[in-house]
Amino acid sequence: MIELRHLRYAVTVADEGHMTRAAERLGIQQPPLSQQIAKLEAIVGASLFKRLPRGVELTEAGRTFVERARTILHDVDLAIEATRRNARGEEGSLAIGFTSSAAFHPLLSSAVRSLGETSPDVALKLEEASTPDLIAMLHSGLLDVALVRSPVAQSGGLVISRILDEEMLVALPDRHPLAMPKGEKPRRIQLSELANEAFILYRRPSGPGLYDSIIAACLAAGFSPKIRHEAPRLLSTLSLVAAGLGISIIPGSIARLETNGIAYLRLDPGANLVAPLYLARKDEQPSGALQLFADIVQHEKASMKHQP
């Protein structure tokens, strides 16, 4: 059976035109090289070299063979290198999913940007979907990784890592009595102060999310929130708040998107309400690109923590 060793030997003998010198280059003695070339000629079923009194010369069939052998050896090197690059996350593909509430977190955008800069040959696919859809896509292999807001059901076979907790803010119409006039020192509001407010919450029709966390926190504060409106899209909640139809509680990263007509109040730490961000992936060895992305996410998170 032909091996790459045979190709390396034939190419080197052809280059040297001299078996003894070729053997030296190859780090073996001349008799085994002579034998291996003879074996190769038997495998191929053709004479590749003319044995001359002083050295050897390729036959025409030998020229045909050595030319292709050279290309094959080069392709082998390329195959190894491409595989290594892929394993290092320098090339390949990565399908990243996220919920709408995770979409606006700067960590996602900075990590994606950083990955793009670090590994321009990695093909990225971004997918926004609900948490259950994201989980299903992870299981089916349509996604490699997903950023979600809650630890999820059907997480068997997945690794769900809590990346960070994001502060939740109270969004209320800027003319709301609780809204601080400009110039006044901002204070942290107690959740219980919202007991009589009309709530506008964003709720996905399927599966859990921040919605349930907010409900749970209100109950813990001693009241059942009056949910007057449920918006089908996250940004719709802010529009309704701006229109004066009620208040909402949203992750801090979203606050930056819409400030017109809306005032944002921070909650008292006792409210114990945060918007966690989870990174979910399959519980198996990750691809190079996925490993790199996870590393970048950790790195970007650490960078954000130390910003003023």
Least distance CB 286 / DNA (angstroms): 17
Per CB under 7 A, which of residues 179..238 are in contact with DNA?
A: none
Least distance CB 283 / a copy of itself (angstroms): 11
Binding of residue 2 to DNA (CB under 7 A): no
Angle (CA) 68 70 74, round 5°: 115
Per CB under 8 A, which of residues 53..72 are in contact with a copy of itself?
A: 59-62, 64-65, 68-69, 71-72
* C-beta separation of 253 from 305 below 8 A: no
What is the total count of residues that contact DNA (CB under 7 A)? 22
Residues 6+ apart with CB under 8 A from 43: 1, 2, 6
Binding of residue 38 to a copy of itself (CB under 8 A): no
> Phi-psi category of 30—alpha, beta or left, where left has phi over 0 and alpha has psi -120 to 50?
alpha
Q: Which amino acid is at 278?
A: Y
Least distance CB 62 / DNA (angstroms): 12
Least distance CB 5 / DNA (angstroms): 6
Question: Which range in 105-113, 169-177, 203-211, 280-288 contacts a copy of itself by CB under 8 A?
Answer: 280-288
- Could you tell which of DNA, a copy of itself, none binds residue 153, using a CB distance below 5 to 8 A set by kind? none
- Could you tell which of DNA, a copy of itself, none binds residue 4, using a CB distance below 5 to 8 A set by kind? a copy of itself
Which alpha helices (DSSP H) does the chain contain, by range? 4-16, 19-26, 30-44, 60-87, 100-103, 106-118, 131-140, 210-220, 234-242, 252-255, 288-305
Tokens standing for residue 288: 């190079």
Per CB under 7 A, which of residues 30..69 are in contact with DNA?
A: 30-32, 34-39, 51, 53-56
The residue among 140, 87, 90 whose CA lies nearest residue 287 is: 87
Binding of residue 120 to a copy of itself (CB under 8 A): no
Angle (CA) 221 225 228, round 5°: 165
Site string for a copy of itself, 283-302 (x = CB under 8 A): -xx-xxx-------------
Residues 6+ apart with CB under 8 A from 298: 163
Q: How far apart are CA 222 and CA 195, in angstroms?
A: 8
The binding site for a copy of itself (CB under 8 A) comprises 1-5, 43-48, 50, 59-62, 64-65, 68-69, 71-72, 75-76, 78-80, 82-84, 86-87, 91-93, 284-285, 287-289
